[in-house]
Structure 1
């Protein structure tokens, strides 16, 4: 079944070109599998690469960008649909609403913010949309270690890892997104704790 896949990734132009190539590979695979793309709406760096590759493969692309970043990030006018929101919070809500699944590529604090919001909501059982981190170069290895340490110390429950797939392979990332992932049932303790 075709999915609207939201891809969270970098818009920085100062990153290693391997990450831009990974974004393009992900966009091409998305199109090959008949999915559509929801992204951050910029034409630069990884964000632009994933959208261009998806369109080149025949996929429909939707870009969602806040008004304040239209000129800063250089909005991608080639999207089939470009949604301009009032702010970053509205942007994330619109991307969430339009998406059936989430793919996270290497990125900075904006990407991490998006990842954690979707990850937290999945742990709390607020949605059952698949979430996959694609990281072939180990950018997120320290994050994985941090989250493991938080769970070991009781700041997070072990089931946080049930809420996310982690892979170094583009095909495997899409295999994971396409699988039906079970809803995570939150317990009263999950809601009672400030940290998940």
Structure 2
């Protein structure tokens, strides 16, 4: 595990627990020698992760679309800032550069980004681990929804098990180091094919 892709809010949220967790993530990963790839912003939890990692000597790569760069929300002090044409290219590049993915609390963009990586993992497009840092029980409702997908027959338990929900970053990194992906969808003829 040498590079982690971080998805998180461009806002700070209403609880100081969120910004504190973002700073802890940046500091911890830097201290572990794990590089960070993220969306390149200087605002919200995104900026807090980057600033903390940089303060502790970490390597932080931002990937930002031109449209957001032009709105002046790009972090200008990163180890590396990659500018791409659009959001699709941003996600593709982050996927290529990352060894695993962690979602901190965030809004629709955060959810969309980690869910796309989860979908790609199910399809065997990549075999990288995914986790949710469950700060302040933020992702508790999602754990219920994921199990509902399984219990109502829309997904196999193996694919639900791909996701790690934890309040503990050390636990997540340990999980990443030992992660073994399940068999990807559509690879055997006799499987029950669920989305």
Identify the range of structure 1 (161-170 vs 111-120) with the bigger mean alpha-carbon deviation: 161-170
Once the two structures are superposed, the pairs formed by residues 71-82 of structure 1 within 5 Å of their partners are 71-72=70-71, 74-82=73-81
> How far apart, CA to CA, are the structure 2 residues paired with 1:38 and 1:187?
27
Once the two structures are superposed, the pairs formed by residues 57-136 of structure 1 within 5 Å of their partners are 57-72=56-71, 74-136=73-135
The answer on whether the counterparts of 1:64 and 1:83 sit within 8 Å (CA) in structure 2 is: yes
The answer on whether the counterparts of 1:6 and 1:100 sit within 8 Å (CA) in structure 2 is: yes
1:185 partner SS? coil
Residue 169 of structure 1 and its aligned partner are, at CA, apart by 1.0
The answer on whether the counterparts of 2:150 and 2:160 sit within 8 Å (CA) in structure 1 is: no
User: For structure 1, which runs of at least 5 residues remain unmatched after alignment?
Assistant: none
User: Match of 2:183?
Assistant: 185
1:41 partner SS? coil
Alignment RMSD (CA, Å): 2.0
Residue 145 of structure 1 and its aligned partner are, at CA, apart by 0.8
Tell me the alpha carbon deviations over residues 45-73 of structure 1, each in whole angstroms, 9 at most, x when there is no partner: 10000011111111111000111112446
The answer on whether the counterparts of 1:8 and 1:39 sit within 8 Å (CA) in structure 2 is: yes
Deviation beyond 6 Å, 4+ runs, structure 1:
189-192
Tell me the alpha carbon deviations over residues 62-97 of structure 1, each in whole angstroms, 9 at most, x when there is no partner: 000111112446100101110111010000001111
User: Match of 2:47?
Assistant: 48
Residue 16 of structure 1 and its aligned partner are, at CA, apart by 2.5
The answer on whether the counterparts of 2:30 and 2:56 sit within 8 Å (CA) in structure 1 is: yes
> How far apart, CA to CA, are the structure 1 residues paired with 2:148 and 2:181?
24
User: Match of 2:167?
Assistant: 168
The answer on whether the counterparts of 1:7 and 1:38 sit within 8 Å (CA) in structure 2 is: yes
Identify the range of structure 1 (123-132 vs 180-189) with the bigger mean alpha-carbon deviation: 180-189
> How far apart, CA to CA, are the structure 2 residues paired with 1:192 and 1:86?
39
The answer on whether the counterparts of 1:35 and 1:59 sit within 8 Å (CA) in structure 2 is: yes
> How far apart, CA to CA, are the structure 1 residues paired with 2:63 and 2:2?
17
2:137 partner SS? coil
